[in-house]
Copies of this chain bind each other. A is one copy, B any other.
């Protein structure tokens, strides 16, 4: 496989303003098969908007978006609501995503018992798993996840990130993900981007979490009782492993 074959999608110098407010500024990213890219950043940083631009759901004001032709995408949006007059079971909802073994995928995500429940009646965390099931069942080339573990219970969160990690290794798809679960994210991620309107810093997790901008954005979190998990990895920082800092990241 050539290197260029591995590239699933790129954003080049993308900018967007909505209602006269700058939301995103000069963002460039590259997504590769088999890699997990995580976007972290405070609320309102533009993370979801960035994903929507990548997916073609929102047009940027400037910049270029390219997706590999025929790219299969599995998408878990941050929130959707479903018309109540539509009788739709969870299994059917998942099946609408494309061809695939629905039963297997529901079982894998521990929601097999919900297969026949109405999609409108399931709980928030259950719905999140269902969305992920639909995305995974499509056997995507690229998985786009907007806070996939939102509302998922503690056990489920760990499992969920584990599963994404395993599946990625098995099928070799690329992942781009927004998440606030730093401790879980850092462990399973190849590259991290701190976003706050522009890219504040990016690199491999270890380097990023030691970066001053990162600390400025997320603090040392001394009183929140949360220590960022640092895993012992032994791979070399070959791919853009250098941590880059561009501008001042203190917004709003």
Q: Hey, which bits of chain A sit against chain B, CB under 8 A?
A: 18-19, 41-45, 47-48, 78-79, 81, 113-114, 117-118, 121-126, 128-129, 147, 150-158, 162, 180, 182-184, 187, 217-219, 221, 223-226, 229, 231, 252
Contact = CB atoms under 8 A, between A and B. Distances in A.
A125 to B, nearest CB: 3
Interface centre among A114, A129, A154, A218 (most CB of B within 10 A): A154
Number of copies of this chain that the complex holds: 2
Contact of A180 (B43, B121, B154, B187): B154
B158 A226 contact: yes
A214 to B, nearest CB: 11
A66 to B, nearest CB: 26
A33 B144 CA distance: 44
Nearest to A181: B154
A122 B44 contact: yes
Given A129-B43, A184-B225, A155 B78 contact: no
B225 A229 contact: yes
